[in-house]
Amino acid sequence: MTLTVEAPVNAHSHAFHRLLRGRTHAGADGAPADFWRWREQMYRLAGALTPESMERLATAVYAEMAVAGWTAVGEFHYLHHAPDGAAYPDHAMERALARAARAAGIRLVLLDTCYLQGGLSPEGRPLPLGEVQRRYADGDVAAWASRWASLEDALAEEDGGAGLVSLGAAVHSLRAVDSGQLAELADWAADRPQVPLHVHLSEQPAENAAVQAAHGLSPAALLHSHQLLSERLSAVHATHLTETDIGLLGRTGSTVVMCPTTEADLGDGIGPARELADAGASIALGSDQHVVLDPLVEMRAMEHGERLRTGRRGRFSPAALRTAAVAAGRRSLGISAAAAEDVIELDDSSMRTIGSDPGQLPMTATAADVVAVTVAGERIAGDGVHERLGDPAELYQSLFAHHPELR
């Protein structure tokens, strides 16, 4: 027997981070690896990707998402330019992502990301761009905004009228822009209230300390000072917040996108999801670096994190977890109306789910129980296979065969 439910939305993805799965947990000598080992690997891959390899990779990633039951994705995209920082002709990287999503048949909101400086020192001083970071940066807000405006037409061309690909915006973090640049971005955003705006926020304590040193404010308070906290803003991670931060995010109706499996993998910590929800924030879910691509695992990972953090069960009901995965994700990406007909069918009599109350399947089912995935009325995947693209594992095999430099 199967149960048809509204389809989950992946509100935060870095497609190329999928290459890190299972490759950052030990150093060259076999010793356990820390965050810096992960970062080193991430920058190596970011430096190696081309538009061609990005399209192959993203097609595999989005196909894997589709068979797992994710039907829409917010791609937090900052790998814009060639390795020397020069612009690709006609948005080659962004077009590659759009073609990948169209091939996989899922909805894509490309969150084109503004990234202007190399970070902040512990004392709050701006850092120059590193070698790989040249691929991320546009120089200044005006150049980013100009590229963003021309990107609208390019994505519409790739979408071809299907209504599956749209454009949003993001600020990488408050380490990647200075206060003056943030003010310009706030002015730009105020003129485009319909555009979803995302930002990495308070993922690590060191980020909070550097922003405090640079601006005398926490990251959330700095956003609020520029009137950027609102119902159109999604703060990603929001792991290390003060009570004041929680109140600001809640009172403004902002969305917080939590990525529990990634936050666990990186050792980031467990964010205050229940407190944020109680304060008025909307909680959505994302898979970030794709440690696993399984919306059902992501749902219960948030509840499990709450139980581990507080020692209490039932912090989020199964119904609330479904809301985070579906309605809040749609709201975060601005696709609520468009995605209303996207559904998945779950096997409620598998060895994992048999005997479960149907309303509690988020606590027992996995992507292996997704037997059909429908987007905009079209079945795109089921039983672990994509209707058009086949087994996603074969897509990854083809990627590595054509691009051994990514192994």
Return d(Cα 154, Cα 90) in angstroms, integer.
8
Structural contact between residues 271 and 300, judged by C-beta atoms closer than 8 angstroms = no
Give 83's pLDDT tier (boundaries 50, 70, 90): very high
Give 386's pLDDT tier (boundaries 50, 70, 90): very high
Active site residues: 237, 288
Mean pLDDT of 197-214: 97
Return d(Cα 353, Cα 362) in angstroms, integer.
10
The pLDDT of residue 29? 76
The pLDDT of residue 349? 98
Q: Encode pLDDT of 363-380 as tens digits.
A: 999 999 999 999 999 999
Give 97's pLDDT tier (boundaries 50, 70, 90): very high
Kind of pairing, strands 233-237 and 370-375?
unpaired
Give 95's pLDDT tier (boundaries 50, 70, 90): very high
Mean pLDDT of 131-153: 97
Mean pLDDT of the chain: 97
The pLDDT of residue 288? 98
Both tokens of 11, joined, read 């509100």
> Does the pLDDT of residue 28 top 80, yes or no?
no
The pLDDT of residue 239? 98
Contacts for 381-386 with beta carbons within 8 Å, 24 or more apart? 381/63, 381/66, 381/67, 381/105, 382/67, 382/345, 384/67, 385/67, 386/63, 386/66, 386/67, 386/104
Mean pLDDT of 62-73: 98
Q: Encode pLDDT of 315-327 as tens digits.
A: 999 999 999 999 9
Within 8 A by CB and 6+ apart from 50, the residues are: none
The pLDDT of residue 325? 98
Give 220's pLDDT tier (boundaries 50, 70, 90): very high
